């Protein structure tokens, strides 16, 4: 990683934008005028290609092609075709990734399939893990009558020493810390346990090499840094050799070896395809297909490097304001977002939004700024931090309208 000077003035930020090798990617996005979008870690913005692909799918493939489009537009192969395009972004091989369902459902399917095969059938999850991961673990363990253990983030590596299945995010949704995947995989391999990686805050942002670190199971969102659209389907990775050992607890017809034989007897498809349960949402698959175009020919390491610099700028300015930075200082250890702690976090986020700067808030007191490198500029971060400085310094957040909680924060 080459070091670039930290901007000390807006002109410095402008100079970095002029020299930015990723600057051209911004044109691929449909960004509303006057909005600085620092929430790509929650819902990535629309791209021209994604919306065009939805339009074509709706107007031509569905309206004109009707049911025949399952074959002529190859809708039936979307789960594998999209999976094959995501595979290189996470260091997986073609045929090891399928796009289907949500992360919640895929965590359930994977955990239920893996638990019977590990030593010590305890399902483990960290107590500051994304809530859905905790709820699914608890729900599944209760359903099948196996123990479930909540462990601390500091203690999860140790907990793996006795086997079991650990559900763990590579990048923490709270502070953005990147886990040492290799250390966890080594511990799991030694103990006869397994890890299901949640790559929701990783894919399209942090360069991971699933094969290289020995990872066998993962799932993740496509609506964050992959910009697949609201409610875009999740993806699921199972290492090729491991797939044949696993049974999908939701053995739907599209995970069957030959769905159009309509046999009464379930026979799983080869590989990860057995985890596709039912009919894919084609309009969402179409959006994701268009959205992935912007990643063609780009290296995830370059994306992470720029996100790191944008985040460093945010952290430097937040520290100068005396704010509580909750994310790692070292951008190599940090995912795509930076979290700041402030007791008035929610009204501050609302006051920023009134100025067209969108960030998000996580209870009890965390403001998150996401640094999607494909469309954000250094000046965007500079200006957002100027606004934050003014709002915090002059307590501009302390207006009744900024305290009214929306359902989605």
Ligand X SMILES: Cc1ncc(COP(=O)(O)O)c(C=O)c1O
The site for ligand X (CB under 6 A) is made up of 102-104, 130, 132-133, 169, 173, 198, 200-201, 221, 234
Catalytic residue among 29, 223, 237, 361: 223
Structure tokens given for 169: 């995010």
70 or 135: whose CB is closer to ligand X? 135
48 or 104: whose CB is closer to ligand X? 104
Unique residue bearing structure tokens 């809530």: 131
CB of 233 to ligand X, least distance (A): 8
Cα–Cα nearest to 195, from 130, 123, 141, 129: 123
Angstrom distances, CA of residue 68 to CA of 80, 258, 259: 19, 19, 17
Q: Known catalytic residue: 378?
A: no
CB of 335 to ligand X, least distance (A): 10
The per-residue DSSP string of 117-132 comes to GSSS--EEEETTS-HH
Contact indicator for 86, 214 with CB cutoff of 8 Å: no
Catalytic residue among 368, 377, 378, 402: 368
CB of 261 to ligand X, least distance (A): 31
37 or 173: whose CB is closer to ligand X? 173
Contact indicator for 317, 182 with CB cutoff of 8 Å: no
Catalytic residue among 109, 224, 274, 350: 224
Catalytic residue among 37, 130, 173, 371: 130
CB of 194 to ligand X, least distance (A): 18
CB of 302 to ligand X, least distance (A): 23
173 or 184: whose CB is closer to ligand X? 173
Q: Known catalytic residue: 37?
A: no
51 or 102: whose CB is closer to ligand X? 102
Question: How many Å apart are CA 315 and CA 326, to the nearest integer?
Answer: 10
317 or 337: whose CB is closer to ligand X? 337
Give the single-character DSSP code of 29.
B
Q: Known catalytic residue: 78?
A: no
- Residue 93 exposed, middle or buried by CB count within 10 Å (0-12, 13-18, 19+): middle
Strand partners, 235: 99, 220
CB of 232 to ligand X, least distance (A): 9
- Residue 120 exposed, middle or buried by CB count within 10 Å (0-12, 13-18, 19+): middle
The per-residue DSSP string of 314-355 comes to HHHHHHHTT-EE-S-SSGGGB-SEEEEE-TTHHHHHHHHHHT
Catalytic residue among 20, 101, 198, 380: 198
Question: How many Å apart are CA 63 and CA 207, to the nearest integer?
Answer: 39
Burial 301-327 (b: 16+ CB within 10 A, else e): eebbbbbbbbbbbbbebbeeeebebbb
Catalytic center residues: 130, 198, 223-224, 368
């Amino acid at each position: 990683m080459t070091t670039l000077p930290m901007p000390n003035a807006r002109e410095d930020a402008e100079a970095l934008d002029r020299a930015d090798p990723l600057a051209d990617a911004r044109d691929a996005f449909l960004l509303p005028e006057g909005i600085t979008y620092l929430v790509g870690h929650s819902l990535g913005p629309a791209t021209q290609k994604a919306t065009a692909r939805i339009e074509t799918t709706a107007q031509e493939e569905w309206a004109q092609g009707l049911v025949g489009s399952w074959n002529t537009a190859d809708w039936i192969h979307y789960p594998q075709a999209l999976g094959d395009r995501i595979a290189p972004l996470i260091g997986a091989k073609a045929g090891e990734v399928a796009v289907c369902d949500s992360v919640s459902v895929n965590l359930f399917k994977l955990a239920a399939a893996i638990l019977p095969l590990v030593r010590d059938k305890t399902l483990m999850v960290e107590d500051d893990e994304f809530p859905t991961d905790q709820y699914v673990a608890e729900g599944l363990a209760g359903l099948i009558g196996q123990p479930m253990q909540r462990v601390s983030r500091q203690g999860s590596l140790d907990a793996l020493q006795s086997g079991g299945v650990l559900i763990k995010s590579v990048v923490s949704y709270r502070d953005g810390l990147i886990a040492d995947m290799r250390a966890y995989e080594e511990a799991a391999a030694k103990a006869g346990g397994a890890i299901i990686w949640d790559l929701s805050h990783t894919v399209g942002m942090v360069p991971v090499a699933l094969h290289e670190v020995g990872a066998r199971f993962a799932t993740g969102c496509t609506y964050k840094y992959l910009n697949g659209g609201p409610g875009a389907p999740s993806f699921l990775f199972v290492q090729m050799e491991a797939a044949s050992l696993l049974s999908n607890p939701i053995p739907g017809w599209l995970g069957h070896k030959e769905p159009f034989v309509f046999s009464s007897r379930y026979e799983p498809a080869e590989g990860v395809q057995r985890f596709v349960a039912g009919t894919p949402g084609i309009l969402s698959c179409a959006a994701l297909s268009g959205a992935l175009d912007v990643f063609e020919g780009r290296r995830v390491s370059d994306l992470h490097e720029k996100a790191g610099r944008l985040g460093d700028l945010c952290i430097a300015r937040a520290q100068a304001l005396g704010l509580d930075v909750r994310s790692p200082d070292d951008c190599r250890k940090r995912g795509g977002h930076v979290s700041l702690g402030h007791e008035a976090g929610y009204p501050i986020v609302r006051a920023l939004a009134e100025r067209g700067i969108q960030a998000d808030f996580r209870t009890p007191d965390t403001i998150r700024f996401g640094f999607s490198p494909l469309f954000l500029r250094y000046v965007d971060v500079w200006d957002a931090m100027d606004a934050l400085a003014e709002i915090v310094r002059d307590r501009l957040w302390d207006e009744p309208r900024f305290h009214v909680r929306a359902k989605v924060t």
